[in-house]
Amino acid sequence: MSQLSIDLVAVFKFSFAQFKKYASFIIGAMLTYVVLAVVPQVYLMINTPKNPTTSQQFVSFLLTMVQVFLSLGFTKIILLLVQDKFVEVADMFNNFKPFLSYFVATFLYSIAVILGILLLVLPGIFILIRFQFYPYLILEENISSFSALQKSYYLSQNLTLELLLFGVAVVALNIAGFLLFGVGIIFTYPLTTMAIAVVYKSLTEQGEEIPTSSYRL
């Protein structure tokens, strides 16, 4: 593992090729996520008073659950398409079995990152980088939230700096997409999610390079 490095050009080249191959399906899934999960949440945030009622808080919680649930479905679709596996619309909505593990892991991950950033910044970034592969592990191995976080940590060992540089590239692309009147994020978010999936699959294959030959053009 210590000899591994991430070839950013190769990762994004393959990811872009897969994105183009399945563009209509991916954009459709992304728009579904935005319409069903993001738009209602933004609308509620804008229209909720400073002191929300109990019912408004409950609605906000439900919308958050929907958002997390659909994000899992979208991640599953991207993970399958990276491997050229069969995908259908139902894959966005049929993830009830791994959802609890994903929800708990997402909660723990988010809290840890926030606390790490509030303390000294660097611990938050370290946590963000090392534990980021937990959704893919939950989807593929159907394991608990704690096991997925633990496996992500060990999977990414000796690659902290490489993953940091990769993360900077991911963030930069998404910022660029957002700056394009917010519309570009519909394209950059799936592309970067696909790139993360490529890095994850390459790590699980334990090859001598990232991406491995399976994910190179």
How far does Cα 214 stand from its chain's mean position? 21
Name the average pLDDT for the chain: 93
What pLDDT, in 10s, does the model give residues 136-186? 999 999 999 999 999 999 999 989 999 999 999 999 999 999 898 778 899
Residue pair 155/147 in contact (Cβ under 8 Å)? The answer is no
The pLDDT assigned to 1 comes to 42
**Residue 125 domain-assigned?**
yes
Model pTM? 0.92
**Residue 19 domain-assigned?**
yes
Count of structural domains within the chain: 1
CB-based burial of residue 127 (10 Å sphere; 0-12 exposed, 13-18 middle, 19+ buried)? buried
**Residue 133 domain-assigned?**
yes
How far does Cα 73 stand from its chain's mean position? 11
**Residue 63 domain-assigned?**
yes
Residue pair 95/70 in contact (Cβ under 8 Å)? The answer is no
By percentage, how much of the chain surpasses pLDDT 70? Answer: 99
**Residue 2 domain-assigned?**
no
What is the mean predicted confidence (pLDDT) over 15-30? Answer: 96
Please give the radius of gyration of the chain, using alpha carbons only, rounded to the nearest integer.
Answer: 18
Question: How long is the chain?
Answer: 217
The pLDDT assigned to 55 comes to 87
Classified as helix, coil or strand, 85 is coil
- Hey, what amino acid is at 63? L
**Residue 1 domain-assigned?**
no
What is the mean predicted confidence (pLDDT) over 14-30? Answer: 96
The pLDDT assigned to 3 comes to 63
pLDDT > 50? residue 15: yes
Residue pair 115/127 in contact (Cβ under 8 Å)? The answer is no
**Residue 137 domain-assigned?**
yes
Q: What is the DSSP string of 174-197?
A: HHHHHHTTTTTHHHHHHHHHHHHH
The continuous run of DSSP H or E covering 15 comes out as helix 8-21
Domain around 31: 8-215
**Residue 110 domain-assigned?**
yes
What pLDDT, in 10s, does the model give residues 85-120? 999 999 999 999 999 999 999 999 999 999 999 988
Q: What are the tokens at 172?
A: 């930069």
Residue pair 52/61 in contact (Cβ under 8 Å)? The answer is no
